[in-house]
Structure 1
Amino acid sequence: MFQQGRFFGRRSRANLLGSGSAGLGDNAARREPYPRTVPTASTIEQPESDKALSAAAVAAALGARAGAFSVDVRQTCGSSNDELIGLAEAGATHRTVLACDLQTAGRGRRGRDWIAAPQGSLTFSLLWRFPPASASPPGLSLAIGVAVARVLEAAGAPGIALKWPNDILLGGRKLAGILVDLLPAQEAAPAAVIGIGLNVTLPPDFPHDQFDAADLAAVLPQPPSRNLLLAQLLIELDGALTTFGRSGFTAFRESWLARHALQDARVRLSGERETVEGICRGVDQDGALLLETPAGLRRIISGDVSLRSDAGH
């Protein structure tokens, strides 16, 4: 039943975590980078979980904002990011969205495959064309992580944490992932295709011994429908990306750090050329990871970070 190429989590288990609680701040004390744009759990009408994504249902959930997005829902596709990149190169408009009920060739960072539960995961991509002279892209995936976390928190999911650079955790396990593909600038206007995969309801026969994954159904007895979640994520991303275009990651850094799963933890950073160990000291204004090592503070811009096997919180 579980075919490779879609989303539960990465096939590689180098990023296994014990607890996602370290470094989390008080929600009420967070300084958020932009106003909340989706309703909280107490005001959301919770429909029964839907079996299939529907462009009409997403438009209904978007309400007055429906006209701002061009939403295409497909039963199957290869990689939503790859297909949307092709559409973007052919002239697709700003805020074009491609959602797939089932991805057959989903991909993650650094060429990894993704695993997804048919009708139990939400996988979609958004094309965002920044205005000319917008802020540079560094830290974009982290800013998107803040937006996704805010939607999940508003839905009532407790203990949401962020793991550098692109993972959303629940109870130390991977709940969602982000993949950003930057497109060649046209007339100095940067653009990005932003892919998001979210585990909503994993099937009963999910292989827990193979994947370190979480789903919303574990903490929300009746999670929002995928159509509603997609609409709320699009609205939240619209606000986040508009803010990012003006101010860059600087506007999101404090909010991201308040949800940082590995703040001040002893970690191992695995890169393409080396493995480094140290104490995670957060991220800088560009979203680079700050790692305290015996040789001094290092600024890391790529790699996979995990708790050291002998580390505790």
Structure 2
Amino acid sequence: MDRSDYQALDTGAVLAELGDLASAFSLVHLAECDSTNTRLLTDLPPDDGRVHVVAADVQTSGRGRRGRVWQSWPGASLTFSALWRFAPGSPVPAGLSLVAGLAVARTLEELGVEGVQLKWPNDVLVHGCKLAGILVELTPGRGRTPAAVVGIGINLQLPPDASVAYPTGVTDLATALGRAPDASRLLGLLLVQLHRLFDVYSAAGFAALRGAWQQRNAFADLPVYILGEVETLAGTCAGVDDDGALLLRTADGLRRVLSGEVSLRLA
């Protein structure tokens, strides 16, 4: 695919892809912004019953977990954030990034991508290489409705000279599919999956989706280590438990690791 063939995101096409769910979303498309997560967090939309989505062709200060920068080039990626409000008593934030990752994985599989894997807690891989990342940030305690901003970045077609640091390498959809998919259709399909899975999550917690996540666990039964601020843990990846915590089988028994400021690596 020639980069000149890239078609910018079209809000009308996204809403058409959403079908009957179109009224459940408010979609704002920006040619450029600092960070879509920051935009939603600093200017919190009203609670009008809709999921508020901000998508940008380019983010100048996009970010990921642990202070990392999400690099952005025009036409290279789909980057957006969505504000999800949950009913009081919903299990926020436990497992939220894992549910979002599962939604991305199912969308990619629907498009025909093979070898989709999930790396705890927030990366989506294809044959071991990173294709998408997720950043979940809770809203700063305004009102009584639990809410979170879920930011997602998916590599569509990286420039030939792009240099992105990742332990096992990066890839894009142009490589996985032989072509870069239409960004508007991709966003519409993904919002449908997010809506569906977050409904399940709100009603039944991560436990209802745990099995589907485990089926795609990139490091299932493999030796791994956890880099944290205090200690480094080594063991075998035993999956995740019902609240989304990583289970690590160590010489001292089974350890639970929460998704704070830690990093999971193959040993």
TM-score by length of 1: 0.78
Closer/same/farther in 2, CA of residues 140 and 193 from structure 1, 3 Å limit: same
Deviations 1:217-248 (A, max 9, x none): 11212332011101111111011111111111
State the identity %. 48
Q: Show the 5 A alignment for 1:83-102.
A: 83-88=39-44, 91=46, 93=48, 94-102=50-58
Shift, 1:126, TM fit: 0.5
Aligned to 2:93: 137
Closer/same/farther in 2, CA of residues 49 and 190 from structure 1, 3 Å limit: farther
Of the structure 1 ranges 122-131 and 111-120, higher mean CA displacement relative to structure 2 is found in: 111-120
CA distance in 1, matches of 2:90, 2:5: 38
Instruction: Say whether residues 1:307 and 2:266 are aligned partners.
Output: yes
Aligned pair partner of 2:126 in 147, 160, 170:
170
Task: Specify the SS of the correspondent of 1:268.
Answer: strand
Task: Specify the SS of the correspondent of 1:267.
Answer: strand
Question: Counterpart amino acid of 1:286?
Answer: D
Question: Counterpart amino acid of 1:59?
Answer: L
Task: Specify the SS of the correspondent of 1:219.
Answer: helix
- C-alpha RMSD over aligned residues: 1.8
Q: Contact (CA 8 Å) 2:60, 2:72: kept in 1 or not?
A: no
Task: Specify the SS of the correspondent of 1:85.
Answer: helix
CA distance in 2, matches of 1:286, 1:197: 24
CA distance in 1, matches of 2:13, 2:204: 33
Aligned to 1:155: 111
Shift, 1:71, TM fit: 0.3
Question: Counterpart amino acid of 1:125?
Answer: S
Q: Contact (CA 8 Å) 1:139, 1:286: kept in 2 or not?
A: yes
- How many residues get paired? 259
Q: Show the 5 A alignment for 1:28-67.
A: 50-67=6-23
| Bigger RCO (CA 8 Å, 6+ sep) | 1
Shift, 1:183, TM fit: 1.6
Question: Counterpart amino acid of 1:157?
Answer: V
Question: Counterpart amino acid of 2:68?
Answer: R
Shift, 1:188, TM fit: 3.8
Question: Counterpart amino acid of 2:257?
Answer: I
Question: Counterpart amino acid of 2:178?
Answer: P
Task: Specify the SS of the correspondent of 1:235.
Answer: helix
Aligned to 2:240: 283
Q: Contact (CA 8 Å) 1:84, 1:98: kept in 2 or not?
A: yes
Q: Contact (CA 8 Å) 1:249, 1:286: kept in 2 or not?
A: yes
CA distance in 1, matches of 2:16, 2:245: 39
**Structure 2 unpaired stretches of 5+:** none
**Structure 1 unpaired stretches of 5+:** 1-47, 309-313
CA distance in 1, matches of 2:92, 2:154: 26
Shift, 1:298, TM fit: 1.0
Deviations 1:242-300 (A, max 9, x none): 11111111011100000000011111100111111111111111111111122221111
CA distance in 1, matches of 2:63, 2:107: 23
Aligned to 1:236: 193
Task: Specify the SS of the correspondent of 1:52.
Answer: coil
Aligned to 1:221: 178
Shift, 1:113, TM fit: 1.2
